[in-house]
Every structure is written in C-alpha cells, then in structure tokens.
Amino acid sequence: MRALPPITTLQAFEAVARRRSFTLAAAELHLTASAVSHQVARLEGQLGLRLLERNAHGVRLSAAGERYLERVGQALNVIATATDDLREGVANSLYVHSSPSIATLWLMPRLPAFAQANPEIAMNLSAAHIHSDFGLGTVDLDIRYGKPQWPDLVIEPLFEEPILPLASPAFVRAHWLKRIAQLADVPLIQSNVNVVQWNDWFAAHSDLRAPERFSLRFDRAQMAMDAAVLGLGVALESAVIAAGHLAERRLVPLFGLEKAVRVKAHFVVYPARHARRPAVEAFLAWVHAEAARTVAQG
C-alpha cells in the first residue's frame, strides 16, 4: 500500500490554503496557529516540496500547492460527504460534475423533477471548467463541454445546439440591427471557451471577420449572456442554454434560428463500470429524456 500523509496534515494544509491564513485555519480546526503551522511543515517535509509561501501579508500557494490543493480538497470533501452519508443512512448517493453554464442554466432548473422521481437517491452536484478525474473516485458522471476527445470513457451526446448571435431587445432597437453586416459596427462579446467562435459563425453566414480585439471577453457562457442582457453587446451562444433568457425576452436571436451553426458540444461522460450502478442508470435515463424534451420544445 502506498504511504499516505497523515490526514491531520492534509486537513491543516487544506484549511490554510483555503482560508489563506494560519489564524483562521486554526480557529476552524480548533487548534493553535502554531500547531497548524507544524502540521503543514510536517507535510511539506514529507513531500519535499514547498506548498505555501509565507510573507508579511499572509499566505499564498506555490504552484505545487495550487495543484495539490485541487486534488486534496476534492478527496477530503469526498471523505466528509461519505461520512455524512453513512451517519444519515444514505445508501444511494450520486455524484455529478458539470461544466458551469449548463449546470446553472439547464440542469439546475430540472433537478427538482429528478429528485421527485428518485427520492431514494442523494444527489451531489459540483461545477467547474476543469474535467473531473475519474481516477480519484470522486465523481460518477461528468457533463462536459467541448470536442469529445476523452479516451477510455463512455461518451453520450446530450443534444444538438443552435449557436447564434443574441442581444437584448433594447440593444437591437438602439442599433437598428437587421443585417449581418451591421455586426461590424457594434460590440461583440467573446466567450473564450465556446466550441463555435465568431469567425466560425461569420464563415458560415457572411464574409465578415471577428475583430482582433474584443471589448469584453468571458470564460463562461452565463457571464457572456448576462453581459448581453445588460446591453453591452452581442453574444454568440447556444439557444438551448439561453432558453430562459429567450423565453422571457431578455435576449432575442438577431437573425432567426436559420442563421445558427448547429453543434453537439455537451456530453455525459463516465467510465463503463459506473453504468452498473442503479443511481447512475437512473440519472442517465432521466437526463437523456430531458435532453430529448428540450430538443422537442425547440
């Protein structure tokens, strides 16, 4: 068996790294700051690496500390959740990880229906751009965004999405937006992580090119859409993910759905062995039914 650091040293490191303070970490762990510092020093000595940089302004993570915190934090959270589940008699837990925008805008509004249909399943949902590491044993399913290049995993597409320019009605009126050529004269909002970029959309529908410099750039679709709702420019986003905004007329498609670029970019991903779990099987059946309903609703 591989030698593991004492859990007390991991807890001390995680608390200090998260709180950026030995004093606050000590209060959380009901220890003295000196004891917490000793535990962190012991962990650094065992690893042979500096995890924390101490200075007059407080504590900051080294590059190694950043990487270690990401995985240690997940592992400690899994241990804590498993312990809570055991204490509360929860035998059927499901751990789902998702990219942030689909988690907030598409999955969350639908989860009450899943909970009602599956009261015996304790649902745990986390969201981040970083894909979950199934090797850690912390996640059952991952809803990923991007190109499906994940070897040794089962990959199931959720739905086809129309990607198209979206803006607030007030922005459309203020700029009299009726033709694609007019996009050259208004602010375009850039979503850095989108599978379809502005130049891809322009190539499909015009001879325009995206500007060399965007006035607004975001790493989350939700933030780009929020900026468009505020009238800060035109966002290029999924009509599926923006369905709530479109239904309430906070955003409108500038040139109709016929001017969309259609892609499959959201996928449910999992190791094949996970499919044998009843909770995973139930979620997969439910989420695909919800995806089909989404497509049918247009």
Domain count, the chain: 3
| pLDDT confidence band for 144 (50 / 70 / 90) | very high
User: Do 167 and 255 reside in the same domain of the chain?
Assistant: yes
pTM of the shown model? 0.68
User: Do 244 and 283 reside in the same domain of the chain?
Assistant: no
User: Is 1 part of a structural domain of the chain?
Assistant: no
Lowest mean pLDDT among 16-20, 103-107, 134-138, 243-247: 134-138
The alpha carbon of 164 is separated from its chain's Cα centroid by a whole number of angstroms, namely: 21
User: Do 104 and 249 reside in the same domain of the chain?
Assistant: no
* For the ranges 30-44, 58-72, 278-292, the one whose mean pLDDT is highest: 278-292
- With a cut of 60, say whether residue 55 has pLDDT above it: yes
User: Do 192 and 227 reside in the same domain of the chain?
Assistant: yes
Q: What percent of the chain has pLDDT over 90?
A: 50
User: Do 165 and 257 reside in the same domain of the chain?
Assistant: yes
* For the ranges 15-24, 123-132, 231-240, the one whose mean pLDDT is highest: 231-240
85-106 confidence digits (pLDDT tens)? 554 444 578 889 998 889 999 9
> What's the whole-number mean pLDDT along residues 267-289?
93
CATH of the domain at 174: 3.40.190.10
User: Do 253 and 279 reside in the same domain of the chain?
Assistant: no
User: Do 145 and 292 reside in the same domain of the chain?
Assistant: yes
Q: How many residues are given for the chain?
A: 298
User: Do 101 and 238 reside in the same domain of the chain?
Assistant: no
- With a cut of 90, say whether residue 123 has pLDDT above it: no
User: Do 171 and 124 reside in the same domain of the chain?
Assistant: no
User: Do 36 and 67 reside in the same domain of the chain?
Assistant: yes
User: Is 84 part of a structural domain of the chain?
Assistant: no
Segments forming the whole domain that contains residue 172:
161-263
> Between vectors from CA 174 to CA 171 and to CA 175, what angle results, nearest 5°?
90
CATH of the domain at 64: 1.10.10.10
User: Is 45 part of a structural domain of the chain?
Assistant: yes
Closest to 225 (Cα-Cα) out of 74, 106, 125: 106
User: Is 83 part of a structural domain of the chain?
Assistant: no
How buried is residue 42: exposed, middle or buried, by Cβ count under 10 Å (0-12/13-18/19+)?
middle
User: Do 219 and 274 reside in the same domain of the chain?
Assistant: no
User: Do 169 and 206 reside in the same domain of the chain?
Assistant: yes
Q: How high is the mean pLDDT of the chain?
A: 88
CA atoms within 13 A on the CB side of 265: 22
| pLDDT confidence band for 270 (50 / 70 / 90) | very high
* For the ranges 83-87, 149-153, 162-166, the one whose mean pLDDT is highest: 162-166
User: Is 78 part of a structural domain of the chain?
Assistant: no
User: Is 81 part of a structural domain of the chain?
Assistant: no
